[in-house]
Each structure stands twice: as structure tokens, then as C-alpha cells.
Structure 1
Amino acid sequence: MESGSNRTIDPSCMQKPPLAIDIILNLDIFGIILYSVLTFMATVSMLIFIEECIYIYKNVPANKKSVIIWVNGAAPVIGTMSCLGMWIPRATMFTDMTSACYFAIVVFKFLILMLEEVGGDEAFLKRAEKHKLKISTGPCCCCCLCLPHVTITRRTLFLLKLGSFQFALLKIVFTLLSIFLWTNGTFDLSDLTIEGAAIWINPFVGILTITALWPVAMTFMHLRVALRTVKIIPKYAMYQLVLVLSQLQTAIINILALKGTIACTPPFSATTRGYMMSQQLLILEMFIITLVTRLLYRRLYDPLPEEEPEVNEHTKMVSVDSSA
């Protein structure tokens, strides 16, 4: 009986991801159906997004067109990139980076979207004169209930925007840096040693992500009542769901693959199979989110009513006692 250390390992489990033509040639009936259905879903998602862009261009005020298109594009763009990564496994790192860069911009655009829904910066500041901003929110300070409430000024608004914009900018910078290091052979997602570049870049990008999500969460908590009539709560839920699925879910599956929890299935190594599972799940999930998002954003974009605290409860902002 052979010992565990003398087991024969299939050579394909130690190789690079297969080429696209190798995947096509090795597809069985189930694989053909699976790949066809997922490709169809990704295609339909992109077609729905294009149709939605046409609708937004024709029916939405100019100040909201760009941000709504950016936010609407999160799910279909990630789904399309995942489809490309599914068919071309060797491009997975680049498709994931493209999706991550796009979503980094969406984080900032969603903050701008909430401000535009109340009428822009000036309208936001006017509505905020009698209110304070609660900063003890996730993902940074949800447990720090003792933190003081902050008066909303132009400087506060600038810091909120800067907190999200830095992620959109620096994520692209670090993505380009990762690609440059990869061409030099010094960046490898599977290299988790202290000498590897990935172990330094990825945690820093994680910190930037948390820092960017905090201003968005604060703004949402402040405006969730005022923007209830424009369905801001389900919109925020969809934005959060895209974040969790595209970032956290993908990271968990990739870590499991790197640790060997996901078995090798020729012609896919364990790592490649983990990437493929992640891509296939994302296509299905982003397709569903695209359909839901289309329902949420396809509406008449009338101006938000003026705030009347005693009359119209739906236009109230979250108010904090000035003595707090």
C-alpha cells in the first residue's frame, strides 16, 4: 500500500490554466450546457444594461445620467468579465482586476448618486443645516457608539467625497502596479510569502476599500429616510450585495483553492478550478442582480419634495439632537 507522500499527482494539477481552445475541446454535454447558459446570462445582462443606458439617456436629468449608468453597470460589467474569465482562464487575473477597478469607481459614484437624488451638493447642505452626521457606522466604527456626531459643512461633504474618491483612484494605481510587477515576475496571487508583492499590495487595498465604504455608509444612514421614496434602501442593498459577492465571496473561494480545499480536476488545477467556480457563480448572481437593478432604477425622476418635518415624513433626513 502506498503512503500518502508517494501518491501520483496528475501532471495537469501542477500546470498553468488551460488555453481557451483546450476548454472547448474537453467540454462534455453537461459542460456545453453549463457554458452556454452562463454565456447567455452574461450576454443578456449586457443587453439589458445597454437598453437601460438608452432609457436613462432619454428620460433622466443630465446631472444624474452619468452616475446612474455607472451604478447600473456594476453587475453586468462584473458578469461579462466573469464570462471572459470562464472561457479564458489565463486571463482571470486581468478580468478580476477590471471588475475590481470598475466597482471602485461605483463606490464613489453611489455616494454622488445619493447627493444628486436630494438635489446636489447645495440642496444637501441646505437640508443638513438642522442635522448632524452620525459617524459611528460600519464598516469602520459601527461599535464605537461614543463617537460624537459631526456638523455637516462643506468641509464635511468634501471629506466624504474624498474618502470614496481615493479608493477609485488608488485602486486603479495599484492595479497598474500589480500588472507591471506581474510582467516582471514579482507579482503572483498564489505567492503568499513575505517576499511576494501580493501579500503587501492586497491588504493595503483592503484598507482602502474599508476607508471608502465608510463615507458611503454614513451618507446612506443620513439620507435613508429622505430618499425612501426613490427606493434608496433596496438600491443600497443591491450595491452591498455586489460588493460582498464580487469581493468577499471571490476571496473566500480563492483562499480555499490556494489551501487545497478545492480538489484538482484535470485539466484544471485546484487554484484554477477555484477561479472557475468563482467566475461561474458571479455570472449567475450578477444576472439576477441586473434584473433587480433594472426594476429599481427604471422610474420617473421627479425632483425630491422640499423637507417638511411636521407634514411629509418621507422627506425627513435622519435628525440628531444638537445636544448629543
Structure 2
Amino acid sequence: MDGLNVTIDPRCTQPPPYAIDIIVNLDIFGIILYSVLTFMATVSMLVYLEECAYVYRRVPANKKSIIIWVNGAAPVIGAMSCLGMWIPKATMFTDMTSACYFAIVVFKFLTLMLEEIGGDEAFLKRGGKHKLRISTGPCCCCCPCLPHVAITRRSLFLLKLGSFQFAVLKIVLTILSIVLWTDGTFNLADLTIYGAAIWINPFVGILTITALWPVSIMFMHLRTTLRTLKIIPKYAMYQLVLILTQLQTAIINILALNGTIACAPPFSAVARGYMMSQQLLILQMFIITLVTRLLYRRQYDPLPSDEEDVNENSKIIATPQSSSES
């Protein structure tokens, strides 16, 4: 009963502060922290712009826009996180912008793997004698008994559609969320059955899993063929951005909603959780931007011929039946 008499600072129940309030209340440590993180976000964008110029000069035309989109994931998220750090009231919009951009990157990464192999026709020609293993994450990694799927134009179209739907529907649901927010219906902190967030967010989660599955299938199929193009570390960076922006942010927000993260006026517990998430993302995206630049800024070795693929029997993952026949 004594715990019920604890006085709560009124500022811990207020909405996120304005940017000017943050600037006025910054101490020496805060000034250094905000300056360093802003510098990191700025450098990330400058590195990205320099990389865009390099891509336009050195990369074949069919890969230019795709590589620029994929390379922009970390610096764009870092820039949006920096805006959210300085303007806490805009955190929902900056997070939605980052999420929409990454939804497009999911589809672009699938397209990138196809372009690296030579395009749709080259993929169909190389994979005509093999099948796709669909028992991969995040949907069916625990179902090794699933049958293999033949590589046809239809299966390739379904793989592309699985990722493309996320890019489109994520933007549509984001616009819907903003419209509902203006009406007072959408609130990330409102987890009651009457709130729009409890219905929209799980649906977005299902769309995300559905979109990641085709990318995983394609990666497992081509990872050995594209090893000279460093597709494995590229895929690792793509997965790392996904984990940090989705899982890490979700964990911090849940801890803030449960009160595990303490209030620190002028930030409420929820606003402080968002602030911690933004600051971590700026640092993490800065590191990923530098690593990504090293992976994509290089001269690619030519891919092995289709005959070498067959002889080595390891360039494209085949079914046990195909392996035994060869």
C-alpha cells in the first residue's frame, strides 16, 4: 500500500518535449553526445552521397539504382534517427519514413541478387535443372520436410511479388496510420483493442515476414554462386539493419511502456525509450554505412560459367535428386 502513495513527477506523464526545450536543458555531456551523434549522421550521409557518385561512374546501368537504394538503408535510417533525436515529437514520422524506405530495400535486395546473376533470364537458364528450397527462415526454417519448388517464371514471379507487396502495403498502411493519428485514433502507446495500432502493427509484422521469406529463399539458392561478389556479408549487413531497426527498437519500446526504463524529465519513460533507440541507431547505422561502403566499392570478379557450376556441383543449391543425377 505504501507504493501507491509515491508521488510521480508531472513531467513524466507529459508528451515528448519540443526541440527548443531539449536545447535549453542540455548540459555539457548532452552537448557532446548530441554533437557527436549529429556528426556521425552527417558523415553517414556524406559517405552515401560520395558512394552514389562512384556508383554512377563505375557500375553498370542495370545495377545503379538498385545498389543506390540498398546502400541508402543505413544512412537514411541514421539521418531519420538524428531528426527524431532532435525533434522528439516527430519520432513517429521519422520511424515510419525509415520503415517505408527499408520496405523498398527488401524488394531491391532481392532484385540485386537477380541482377548480379545476370537478370531474370540468366537466373531461369542457370536454375532450370535445379529447384528452390523453401524451408528457410523466417517462415519455414523448422519445416525441412517441405518439398522443393521448381524454378519457373511463375515461381520467380511469386518470389518477387512476396517482397514487392511489402514495399507497397507498408507505404499504404503508413499513410493510413498518419491519417488515423490526425483523428486521434492511432497511438503507438495505446495497446487496447479499440486502438488502431493494435490492429495495424501485427498486420505489418505479417507482411514483413512474408516479404523476408522470398529474399531468404533466393539468398540460400545463390549464396555460393555469388560468393565472389561478397553476397554473404552484404546479406549480413541487410539482416543486421533489419534486426536493429525492428527487434532492437521493439524491445526498447516495450521496456519503456512497462516502466522498466525510468522517466528522466523532460522525457517521460516512453519518450526516453524512443530517444535511446534513436541514439543507438545513429551509432549503429554509422558503422554499417562504413562497412557497406567497403563491400560495394570494389571491382567485381566475373561470375563462373554455367558449365563450371555444373562441374563443381556447388554453385547453386540443388535437390538431392538433382545431385544424384549429376
TM-score (norm 1): 0.97
Match of 1:279 in 2: 278
Shift of 1:305: 3.0
Work out whether residues 163 and 215 of structure 2, in 8 Å CA contact, stay in contact via their aligned partners in 1.
yes
Give CA deviations for 1:233-291 in whole Å, capped at 9, x if unaligned: 00000000000000110011001101111000011000000000000000000000000
| Residues 167-316 of structure 1: pairs in structure 2 closer than 5 A | 167-301=166-300, 303-309=302-308, 313=312, 316=315
Residue 128 of structure 2 aligns to a residue whose secondary structure is helix
Distance 1:101 1:261 in 2: 29
Work out whether residues 308 and 315 of structure 1, in 8 Å CA contact, stay in contact via their aligned partners in 2.
no
Match of 2:15 in 1: 16
Is 1:46 the counterpart of 2:45 in the alignment? yes
Work out whether residues 100 and 170 of structure 2, in 8 Å CA contact, stay in contact via their aligned partners in 1.
yes
- Letter matched to residue 142 of structure 2: C
Shift of 1:86: 0.2
Give CA deviations for 1:22-64 in whole Å, capped at 9, x if unaligned: 0000000000000000000000000000000000000000000
Shift of 1:312: 7.2
Residue 245 of structure 1 aligns to a residue whose secondary structure is helix
Shift of 1:311: 8.0
Number of aligned positions between the proteins: 323
Work out whether residues 262 and 273 of structure 1, in 8 Å CA contact, stay in contact via their aligned partners in 2.
yes
- CA RMSD in angstroms, aligned pairs only: 1.5
Distance 1:320 1:231 in 2: 24
Residue 261 of structure 1 aligns to a residue whose secondary structure is coil
Match of 2:102 in 1: 103
With over 3 angstroms needed to count, the CA separation of the structure-2 counterparts of 1:223 and 1:233, relative to structure 1, is same
Match of 1:158 in 2: 157
- Letter matched to residue 71 of structure 2: N
Work out whether residues 307 and 316 of structure 1, in 8 Å CA contact, stay in contact via their aligned partners in 2.
no
Match of 1:3 in 2: 2
- Letter matched to residue 281 of structure 1: L
Shift of 1:106: 0.2
- Letter matched to residue 101 of structure 1: C
Work out whether residues 42 and 287 of structure 1, in 8 Å CA contact, stay in contact via their aligned partners in 2.
yes
Is 1:34 the counterpart of 2:33 in the alignment? yes
**Which consecutive unaligned segments of at least 5 residues does structure 1 have?**
none
Shift of 1:301: 4.1
Deviates more, 1:303-312 or 1:22-31: 303-312
Work out whether residues 228 and 314 of structure 1, in 8 Å CA contact, stay in contact via their aligned partners in 2.
no
Match of 2:74 in 1: 75
Distance 1:228 1:312 in 2: 17
Shift of 1:313: 4.4
Is 1:85 the counterpart of 2:98 in the alignment? no
TM-score (norm 2): 0.96
With over 3 angstroms needed to count, the CA separation of the structure-2 counterparts of 1:260 and 1:305, relative to structure 1, is same
Deviates more, 1:306-315 or 1:103-112: 306-315
Match of 2:129 in 1: 130
- Letter matched to residue 235 of structure 1: K
Moved over 2 A (4+): 301-305, 307-315, 321-324
Work out whether residues 225 and 314 of structure 1, in 8 Å CA contact, stay in contact via their aligned partners in 2.
no
Distance 1:323 1:280 in 2: 50
Work out whether residues 60 and 301 of structure 1, in 8 Å CA contact, stay in contact via their aligned partners in 2.
no
Work out whether residues 174 and 201 of structure 1, in 8 Å CA contact, stay in contact via their aligned partners in 2.
yes
Distance 1:185 1:239 in 2: 35
Work out whether residues 130 and 322 of structure 2, in 8 Å CA contact, stay in contact via their aligned partners in 1.
no
Work out whether residues 309 and 315 of structure 2, in 8 Å CA contact, stay in contact via their aligned partners in 1.
no
With over 3 angstroms needed to count, the CA separation of the structure-2 counterparts of 1:124 and 1:311, relative to structure 1, is closer
Match of 2:146 in 1: 147
- Letter matched to residue 242 of structure 2: L
Work out whether residues 225 and 317 of structure 1, in 8 Å CA contact, stay in contact via their aligned partners in 2.
yes
Match of 1:320 in 2: 319
**Which consecutive unaligned segments of at least 5 residues does structure 2 have?**
none
Residue 130 of structure 1 aligns to a residue whose secondary structure is coil
Residue 308 of structure 1 aligns to a residue whose secondary structure is helix
Is 1:56 the counterpart of 2:81 in the alignment? no
